[in-house]
Amino acid sequence: MSRFAPRLPARLAPLWAARSGREKGLLVLALVGVLAYAGHAALSSLPAGSEPFAAAKPGPNLLRLPPITPVDAATWRSAAVEQGLALTRIEVTARGITTHGEAPSPEAFSDFARWAAQHGWWAVAWQLERREGQSLALAAHWRSQLERPASEPASGAESNSGPVAESAPLDTTATATESR
């Protein structure tokens, strides 16, 4: 009996016992060689002690994001009218834009949200409430940046065009109510 008695699953134990001592030694030696090679490959792919990790390049979809355009209430109102919305109030704050108004249907709001996204503004919270007639009362909050740590300074085109100086966790709630 060998001094090395490995614990093997029940199906493999008879196969291991049937092998000669020389064959067992070669298999153990091959296993050690494979593990050494795998360890060497893993360690050689890491950067040296003083080298930083290489930053991942942004994906192609991220590079195709639209630029953030400055908020102009007249432009937003005219775009809303083109989509069938009637915006009664547009508030610009450091945390984004809040719009209030009426929409004939949820699809009209979706079309307006698509227009806003093409201009770099994303609806992160909205509420559609059915009124007595066919119209929907709407309130929506828009952000130009979906993620940026509060400690990171604004950079690039975002700092010049958007009112977002620092961000907080996003409120991604959506509610829809119907009143009669």
Per-residue pLDDT of the chain (180 residues; tens, 9 = 90+): 556 666 778 888 888 889 999 999 999 999 999 999 999 998 887 766 666 666 777 777 766 777 788 878 888 899 999 999 999 999 988 888 999 999 999 999 999 999 998 888 999 999 999 888 778 999 999 998 765 444 444 443 343 444 444 444 444 455 555 544
* pLDDT recorded at residue 159: 39
- Domain check: are 139 and 112 in the same one? yes
Q: What is the DSSP letter of 111?
A: H
Residue 145 · residue 167 · CB < 8 Å: yes
- Domain check: are 74 and 129 in the same one? yes
**b vs e for 118-135, b when ≥16 Cβ sit within 10 Å of the residue's Cβ?**
ebbbbbbbbbbeeeeeeb
- Domain check: are 151 and 95 in the same one? yes
* pLDDT recorded at residue 146: 63
- Domain check: are 103 and 169 in the same one? yes
- Domain check: are 41 and 110 in the same one? no
- Domain check: are 16 and 95 in the same one? no
- What is the domain count for the chain? 2
- Alpha helices (runs of H) in 13-163, residue ranges in sequence order: 13-18, 21-45, 60-63, 73-82, 106-118, 156-161
- Domain check: are 83 and 127 in the same one? yes
137: buried, middle or exposed (CB in 10 Å: 19+, 13-18, 0-12)?
middle
Domain that holds residue 31: 1-55
* pLDDT recorded at residue 107: 92
Q: Is the pTM of this model over 0.75?
A: no
